[in-house]
Structure 1
Amino acid sequence: MNHCVLEVEVIDAPTVRYTQDNQTPIAEMAVRFDPLREGDPPGELKVVGWGNLAQELQNRVQTGQRLLIEGRLRMNTMPRGDGMKEKRAEFTLARLHPIGAAATGAPPTGNPSA
């Protein structure tokens, strides 16, 4: 089973769009996480939330906020401008836990059975 937990910092605020067929909300945001070794650059990742979780991302998450995120990690193949293909990681969000000063003591958001 693919289940990941990451501590991240939001670098691009969530944006919401809707599917064409049934108007399901989809939120996307960019996050950064600390490297494993000193001297390495921080990692960056696209995070995607669906449905009610997308709305919560839009309403509760802002740039600079630190979060603990849970979900699934997958690799997408994307075409580049030079005709080559590039693999990029994408994180599908299942639960969201604000940490630090932004944490309000509210329960985690998301689908507990995801």
Structure 2
Amino acid sequence: MNQFIVMADIIEEPQLRYTSDNQLPITEMLVQFSGIREDDPPSKLKVVGWGNLAQEIQENFHAGDRVLLEGRLGMVSFDNPNGFKEKRAEMTASRVHKVGAGEITSTQPSATPAASAPAAKAAAPAAKAPAKSKPAAPAPAAVDYDDIPF
């Protein structure tokens, strides 16, 4: 199973377009995330969203936003300007979560684009509610290992 999760910053404004045959919406954006080691340069990755998620990405996310992306990672072949074939990693997003000051809001594909907006607004106040502490669980009873039949 190909599942990829990365926290990144959007560095290029999401661009919405439509397929020529059935007018399916597609959004493409460029994100950047830090390298594994301190001296590694930041990595850039093209992210693609399809359908309702594409419209929601274009409406709710902008350059400069920090996001948590979930999706599939794949390789795409293309011809460069010099006439050579190149390969590049590309992510097909299935979920996008905005990471802000102390809270995370989520954008997931929905049946209709308007259906997710009230859900995201309702989720934000719930995240700010103080967490209730649970009473401590009673300590487990002492086990006498001599009574275990082997």
Contact 2:52–2:109 (8 Å) recurs in 1: no
Report % sequence identity. Answer: 50
Residue 18 of structure 1 corresponds to which residue in structure 2?
A: 18
SS of 2:54's partner is helix
**What is the identity, as a one-letter code, of the residue corresponding to 2:18?**
Y
Alpha-carbon contact 1:65-1:102 (below 8 Å) kept: no
RCO higher in structure (CA 8 A, sep ≥6): 1
Q: After the TM superposition, which residues 24-35 of structure 1 pair with which residues of structure 2 at under 5 Å, given as runs?
A: 24-35=24-35
Q: Deviations over 1:35-62 (max 9, x none)?
A: 0111111000000000110111111001
- Displacement, 1:102? 8.9
RMSD: 1.7
* SS of the residue 2:62 aligns to: coil
Of Structure 1 and Structure 2, the greater strand share is in 1
- Give CA deviations for 1:2-58 in whole Å, capped at 9, x if unaligned: 000000000001010001121111000000011011111100000000011011111
TM-score normalised over the length of structure 2? 0.69
Q: Residue 110 of structure 1 aligns with which residue?
A: 108
1:1-114 equivalences under 5 Å are 1-101=1-101, 103=103, 106=105, 108-111=106-109
Cα offset, 1:94, TM superposition: 0.2
Letter in 2 for 1:109: T
**Local SS of the residue matching 1:39:** coil
Q: What TM-score, normalized to structure 1? A: 0.89
Segments of structure 2 that go 5 or more residues without pairing to the other structure are 111-150
Q: Deviations over 1:61-97 (max 9, x none)?
A: 0111000000000011111122221111110000011
Q: Which protein is bigger by CA-based radius of gyration?
A: 2
For 1:74 and 1:111, the matched residues in 2 are separated by: 20
Name the SS for the 1:13 alignment partner. strand
In structure 1, runs of 5+ residues without a counterpart are: none
* Cα separation, 2, equivalents of 1:23 and 1:101: 36
CA distance in 2, matches of 1:12, 1:48: 12
AA aligned opposite 1:55:
Q
Structure 1 residues 56 and 102 mapped into 2: Cα distance closer, same or farther (>3 Å)? farther
Q: For residue 23 of structure 2, give the secondary structure of its aligned residue in structure 1.
A: coil
